[in-house]
Amino acid sequence: MREFDEALFKTKIDNIFIKIYVALTRENLKDIEHFVSKEVFEDLEKFLEDKKNKNQKQVYDEINVKNTTILNKKENDTLDIVEVELISRYMDYILDRKSGKIIEGTDQRRVERRNFLTFEKKKDSKEILLHQKCPNCGASMSINSSGVCKFCRSVFPLEEYDYILTSLTTEK
């Protein structure tokens, strides 16, 4: 496994985790697409679609990360893999889209959850810079914010440069 700054990695994980839950609440996954694998992105899309089909809106509010622990670092022929446990706290409730009333959960107190995340990085990944060029139109883009080109809306291929989330499970 190449040089690995554990503190920096944990900070990145915390930020990505919060961005994912904010994106789910906003029902807009475009800004997190470059942080996650295709499979994770499709699972998140299915989750939102299921809520919409049930005329529900999932809300996560006052999200924070209580603790992040790296459980395992391993590698295979092509990937560096990091498995993480993240303890989060947030309000977790579901609204009825028509009435706006809470139909499940509460907006009065936070719940604590154990989350298990797996991140993978290709061994032959390229060096990443703070500002990258859009792979489609060549415009400068900041990959730390949304990873989406503000001109052509292309998604930056982070999996060619850095760790991406390949698995996310939450214990209730």
Q: Are 161 and 128 in contact (CB under 8 A)?
A: yes
Average pLDDT over residues 147-171: 74
* pTM as predicted: 0.83
CA atoms of 64 and 110, how far apart (whole Å): 10
Could you read off the pLDDT of 97-147 as tens digits, one per residue? 999 999 999 999 999 999 999 999 888 666 665 456 666 676 675 655 556
- Residue bearing the bigger pLDDT, 153 or 59: 59
CA atoms of 93 and 29, how far apart (whole Å): 19
Is the pLDDT confidence value at 55 over 90? yes
Is the pLDDT confidence value at 91 over 70? yes
Could you read off the pLDDT of 6-50 as tens digits, one per residue? 999 999 999 999 999 999 999 999 888 888 999 999 999 999 999
Distance in angstroms between the alpha carbons of the first and the last residue of the chain? 33
Rg of the Cα atoms in the chain: 17
At residue 28, what are phi and psi to the nearest 5 degrees?
A: -145, 105
